Amino acid sequence: MNPAIALGPKKQYSVLGLPVDCTEDYVSYLLSRLDRGLGTHVVTLNAEMAMQAEEDGNLARIVQQAELVVPDGSGIILYLRLKGVSQKRCPGIELAESLLVKAANLEDNNSIFFFGGKPGVAMAAAGSLQQKIGGLEIASQHGYLAPEEEPELLQTLKDLQPRIILVGLGVPRQEFWIAENRHICPEALWIGVGGCFDIWAGMKKRAPAWFCDNHLEWLYRLYQEPWRWRRMLALPKFAIKALISINN
């Protein structure tokens, strides 16, 4: 089994040189950090991001410096299993939604900010979740900002000091943006959520449970977005590198 580093309630393993944190309850771990005012960058790691990090040292450093890296993709889970580590997959969309449900019931922890997506999408996602969960204060801003508009967004974040900030700019842009700007809200939880806003807003559908349970969510996504086929080439590359790494 790959040696683990004890990190409080979680353990950390290495997947192709990138950290992956394993615990039974990511939400409780994050709420504990939130209550203590410990700023946290959460990275939801999958095989595609791992291969991007292989080619981009700056992205690799951001992942390595993040306070929590969860195994979002099936490829990461299968890699861990081949190393003898039993860990359930933690899809970013489920982590974020579960966190919001818990935060809604906590005093002073329910101030949320959504940033990303096309105009209107983040706002629609916020409205949908507020109806579903209740008790949340969600401000939002779409991700199609001109460079001269971004200072106003940063000032808004500085003034509001939301406790949880979800950034849906896609990988790796959202990871770079969080790393550059997290100092503005130093006690917040920052999570890159990719296309979650589109799903919450009803613009896209998440893969049915059968696909998710059988590690085929990527196939459903390819069916919905066939233009992603070039990006999906990262999956066999990851598999080959994983097998070489495990056998060495």
181-212 burial, b at 16+ Cβ within 10 Å, e below that, comes to bbebbeebbbbbbbbbbbbbbeeeebbeeebb
pLDDT of residue 209: 62
Q: Which of 134, 138, 118, 139 is nearest to 197 (CA)?
A: 118
Sign of CA dihedral 209, 215, 221, 222: negative
Percentage, residues of the chain above pLDDT 90: 69
55-65 burial, b at 16+ Cβ within 10 Å, e below that, comes to eeeebbebbee
* Residue 86, SS3 per DSSP: coil
Q: What is the mean pLDDT of residues 223-236?
A: 60
* Residue 233, SS3 per DSSP: coil
pLDDT in tens, 13-29: 999 999 999 998 999 99
pLDDT of residue 3: 43
pLDDT of residue 1: 33
pLDDT of residue 93: 95
CB atoms inside a 10 Å sphere around CB 104: 17
Name the average pLDDT for the chain. Answer: 87
pLDDT in tens, 78-126: 899 988 999 999 999 999 999 999 988 877 666 999 999 999 999 999 9
69, 99 contact by CB (below 8 A): no
Domain that holds residue 217: 5-247
Per the structure, the count of domains in the chain is 1
Provide the pLDDT confidence category of residue 165 given band limits of 50, 70 and 90.
very high
pLDDT of residue 245: 78
Q: Which of 144, 167, 176, 170 is nearest to 225 (CA)?
A: 170
Instruction: Report whether pLDDT(233) > 60.
Output: yes
Extract the tokens encoding 10. Answer: 């979680």
Q: What is the mean pLDDT of residues 197-222?
A: 70
Q: Which residues contact 83 (CB under 8 A, 6 or more apart)?
A: 1, 2, 13, 246
Extract the tokens encoding 192. Answer: 């890159």
pLDDT of residue 238: 80
- For 105, which DSSP code? T
